Structure 1
Amino acid sequence: MSDPASPFKGKTGLRRVLNAATYSWSGLTAAFRHEDAFRQEVFLALLLIPLALVLGETGIARALMIGAVLLVLIVELLNSAIEAAVDRISLEHNLLIKRAKDMGSAAVMISLVNVAVVWALVLLN
């Protein structure tokens, strides 16, 4: 009986780590190249992260502020992945596809609200 595992899961050790890094870099560059929202959020992060390092009075404050910004990028990547996968399945109007895309968008919005709340709480003490 053959092993049901994916043939892509056969690598171990350093080769696996290098493959994962390559796939991750490909995902980041694809998102930057093809997703306007991700590009905008990267530029926002390039502004906010240095600002957090200056405005945060403690290491924990800086970590919270930077973490909130990075969370937006993470959620946007997941949202873009959902949209790409769903679009691959069908471009026809479908209520379940709309729901999935709307939920991904809502997750991005909540992560952006999280940035505002965290930054306000940290900066206003």
Structure 2
Amino acid sequence: MAPSETVLAKRTGITRILYTCVHSFNGLKWMFKNEAAFQQELALFIPLSMLAFYLDISLSHSLILVASLLFVLFAELVNTAIEVVIDRISLARHPLSGLAKDIGSSLVLISMLIATAIWLALLV
């Protein structure tokens, strides 16, 4: 190992879990403050989740409805992570950077189609 290289000790046990929770919360906080699409999806997630538990359907069906909405939020997190990494590498326009962002956007679209299909299947 070169003299300028340092080895970072990996956290273990409860310390690792606590730091993971802090980093996860920081990511969600950033998304909530800075990502308009995430804010819009969250604005739909909250009332639709409440509706899912209000409906006269089984608990398992309500949970499936909520899980489909969580999948949309998950997809938006992945899409934004892709965009952030691409922008970190370079702000210059490049076909592969655009393609990566387009694929991330497609991920969100597919998650929304899945959620819509699940809601329609369970409610119609």
TM-score of the superposition, structure 1-length normalised?
0.91
Q: Distance in 1 between matches of 2:32 and 2:44?
A: 13
CA contact 1:31–1:38 (8 Å) conserved in 2 = yes
Please report how far the alpha carbon of residue 93 of structure 1 lies from its aligned counterpart in structure 2 after TM superposition.
1.1
Number of the residue aligned with 2:40? 40
- Alignment-derived partner of residue 28 in structure 2: 28
- Root-mean-square deviation (Å): 1.7
Pair 1:117 & 2:117 matched: yes
Letter in 2 for 1:25: F
The answer for unaligned runs of 5 or more in structure 1 is none
Runs of 4 or more, structure 1, over 4 Å off, are: none
1:32/1:38 contact within 8 Å kept: yes
The CA deviation at 1:47 is 1.1
Structure 2 length-normalised TM: 0.92
Q: How many residues align?
A: 121
Point out where structure 2 has 5 or more consecutive residues left out of the alignment.
Answer: none
2:38 maps to a residue whose letter is F
Q: Per the alignment, do residues 19 and 122 of structure 1 end up closer, same or farther by CA in structure 2, a change over 3 Å counting?
A: same
**Partners of 2:41 and 2:67 in 1: CA distance:** 14
Percent identical across equivalent pairs? 37
Report Cα offsets for 1:57-111 as digits up to 9, x if no partner: 1122111100000000011001001100100111111110011000000000011
Distance 2:27 2:90 in 1: 21
Q: In the alignment, which residue of structure 2 is the partner of 1:95?
A: 95
